[in-house]
A and B are shown apart, each in its own frame.
Chain A
Amino acid sequence: DTEVTQTPKHLVMGMTNKKSLKCEQHMGHRAMYWYKQKAKKPPELMFVYSYEKLSINESVPSRFSPECPNSSLLNLHLHALQPEDSALYLCASSQASGGKGNVQFFGPGTRLTVL
């Protein structure tokens, strides 16, 4: 299995809702990432988990809350989002950070719309 899966594919939520994005990989990777991508822009790193511990938080607002329950799963909990948070949210995974060949494999993304 060489893919990263993400659910849901699309999500529409109001500013008072609480929702979660899910990401799963079965490649034995021990680093997982959340990115945000606006239209016609490159992906922007939000969080990095390494061995299930948060290693990088790129100053992301607290309305985004990541969670890594185990080495295969990564969640992003959303609460009180703003319309400007509408974007494609991408999950990626790689072998443990550092070293050679640590290619990041991306999932298909969740298209989030905040009303």
Chain B
Amino acid sequence: QQQVKQSPQSLIVQKGGISIINCAYENTAFDYFPWYQQFPGKGPALLIAIRPDVSEKKEGRFTISFNKSAKQFSLHIMDSQPGDSATYFCAARYGGATNKLIFGTGTLLAVQP
């Protein structure tokens, strides 16, 4: 119940294409769903996040779609660029006092020029 399942493990997209990464969870105690982007040798950086009472959130080329009934959420990167090549982690946060994040297994995205 603590797991967040993420797919695909790796993804190759052509420049200008759409990158889609999917995550699924079981625990209804999760109340916040951030996506982090991590470049090699760097710490994860928050990309975009959503709450379960919102079905979609868009920031620039990045969009989160959230399906509460299916317990699934996804990241869409529009007009993918080589600079987007990185590892992407979805995460889910337990509500309440702990602010504990459970991370997905990560997706290595390569955008080919």
**Which residues of A come within 8 Å of B, CB atoms?**
4, 6, 31, 40-43, 45, 48, 50, 55-56, 90, 92, 94, 97-98, 102-109, 111
**Which chain B residues lie closer than 8 Å to A4 at the CB level?**
43
CB pair A104 B43 closer than 8 Å = no
CB pair B43 A97 closer than 8 Å = no
Contact of B99 among A102, A105, A107 (CB under 8 A): A102
| Cβ-based interface call for B41 (8 A) | yes
Closest to A31 in B: B99
| Cβ-based interface call for B1 (8 A) | no
Closest to B44 in A: A106
**Which chain B residues lie closer than 8 Å to A94 at the CB level?**
99
**Which chain A residues lie closer than 8 Å to B36 at the CB level?**
106
Best-surrounded residue of B32, B36, B89, B99 (most CB of chain A within 10 A):
B99
Contact of A108 among B42, B95, B97 (CB under 8 A): B42
CB pair A45 B43 closer than 8 Å = no
Whether A103 touches B49, Cβ cut-off 8 Å, given contacts A40-B106, A42-B105, A55-B98, is yes
